[in-house]
Structure formats: structure tokens, C-alpha cells
Structure 1
Amino acid sequence: MKQGAFAFMPPLNEDQVREQIQWVLNQGYCLSVEYTDEPHPRNNYWRMWGLPMFDLKDAAAIMYEFQSCKKAFPDCYIKINGYDADRQGQVVSFIAYYPADMQ
């Protein structure tokens, strides 16, 4: 099953995830981390890891949250979302981690 911005590319490695997070931050968006064990495109109910990171401007801090989520839920899909305060909605989303059996 494929979905998201990078769905037809190989899974992103840690450096590529960090680069994408930095790009989202450079656009002025805030980020959140979500996870699920059911990645179907019609599944709108991913669980949020913590709260949206409105005040974080450092990719390393967001990577820490991403890695903590991955460690806590190694069998789940994890995605990164970017929110634009001006548009008041999500503008970026990509799956940053696939479980080992899906890679």
C-alpha cells in the first residue's frame, strides 16, 4: 500500500528525515508526530505522539521525539506533519518510518 509524498521512493533514512524536518521548519510550519498500526489512506485517526511542537525550531529536538516514538512503537507506521498557522491547517505530511516487515 502506498500513500504520502514519498510513497514511491525507498524509505527515508535518518538523515533524509532530518532534512525533511528542517525543510518544514524553514517554511515556518510547526510539526507533529503521529503513529498507527493501520496506515490505510482512509484511516484519518492516527495517534499523536505528544502535542504539536509549536515552539520548536530545532530539527534535532523533533528528531528526538520521532526517535522516541519509533522506539516506543517499533511495529507502527510513523508520519511527520507540518501545520501552517496562517492557513490554519496541515500542509505537509509524510511517512517517515515503516515497520521492519514493510521495508
Structure 2
Amino acid sequence: MAVQVYKSSTKYETFSYLPPMSAEQIRQQIAYCINQGWNPSVEHSEKEKAMSNYWYMWKLPFFGEQSVDAVLAELEACHREFPSHLVRFVAYDNYAQSQGLTFVVYR
């Protein structure tokens, strides 16, 4: 049996192999990160540079942010400012000193 190539659009992170998330699912992922005590952040990048390790940070991480709506508003503001860029949500885990979760919200 031969290995088959996964035929789909460009993949940017783990969730991109799943069907697109609904607005409610995005909200639940952000709420999970906040409940874990992780610090939300928003990043963006040109599509042609998306595979780079370095994305532009939209403002500073939202240290201590407890409002999912505030994070969603910042994701939307970044998308309005850079409509042709990919916009992703990042949650930083202070304890592990790393990203706890990352996913693209706007393609």
C-alpha cells in the first residue's frame, strides 16, 4: 500500500487538519486557555511568509486578560488592520515557558 498525500489547502498549525472551527469553537478554545492561566496574544503574517517561525505581534500579550470578548475583539481589530494577512491566536504558558496553544483564526 502506497502512502497517500493529504490533498487540501496549506496547513499552518495542528487545528488546520480539522474542519474550520465555528465562532463558538474558537470562543471555547480561547476560554480554555484563559482558564488555564495562559496569557493570550495575537499575531499576524503575510500568507507567503506564514511558514516562518516569526510572525508579527499585534500589541503585547494580554497579560492577565480574563475576557474572551476582549481577545476576540483584538483578533477582529488585527484582521481589519491587515485583511490580507493570516491572523492567529497564541496562548503563552508561564509555567512551561512556551506556547500552550496556537491556531489560525483568519486565513
CA distance in 1, matches of 2:80, 2:19: 21
- Matched letter for residue 92 of structure 2: Y
Measured after TM superposition, the shift of residue 10 of structure 1 is 2.8
Work out whether 1:49 is the aligned partner of 2:55. no
Measured after TM superposition, the shift of residue 63 of structure 1 is 0.6
Measured after TM superposition, the shift of residue 14 of structure 1 is 2.6
Cross-structure match for 2:68: 59
Measured after TM superposition, the shift of residue 26 of structure 1 is 1.2
Deviations 1:20-49 (A, max 9, x none): 111111111111000001212xx0110000
Work out whether 1:71 is the aligned partner of 2:80. yes
Instruction: Name stretches of at least 5 consecutive residues in structure 1 with no aligned partner.
Output: 99-103
- Matched letter for residue 16 of structure 2: A
- Matched letter for residue 62 of structure 1: V
Work out whether 1:39 is the aligned partner of 2:50. yes
Number of corresponding residues: 96
Which TM-score applies when normalising by structure 2? 0.82
Measured after TM superposition, the shift of residue 83 of structure 1 is 0.8
Measured after TM superposition, the shift of residue 91 of structure 1 is 1.8
Cross-structure match for 1:20: 29
Runs of 4+ in 1 over 6 A off after TM superposition: none
Q: Assess if the C-alpha contact under 8 Å between 1:30 and 1:56 holds in 2.
A: yes
Measured after TM superposition, the shift of residue 18 of structure 1 is 1.4
Which TM-score applies when normalising by structure 1? 0.85
Among all aligned residue pairs of Structure 1 and Structure 2, give the percentage whose two residues are the same amino acid.
34
CA distance in 2, matches of 1:49, 1:4: 19
- Matched letter for residue 103 of structure 2: F
Max radius of gyration: which structure? 2
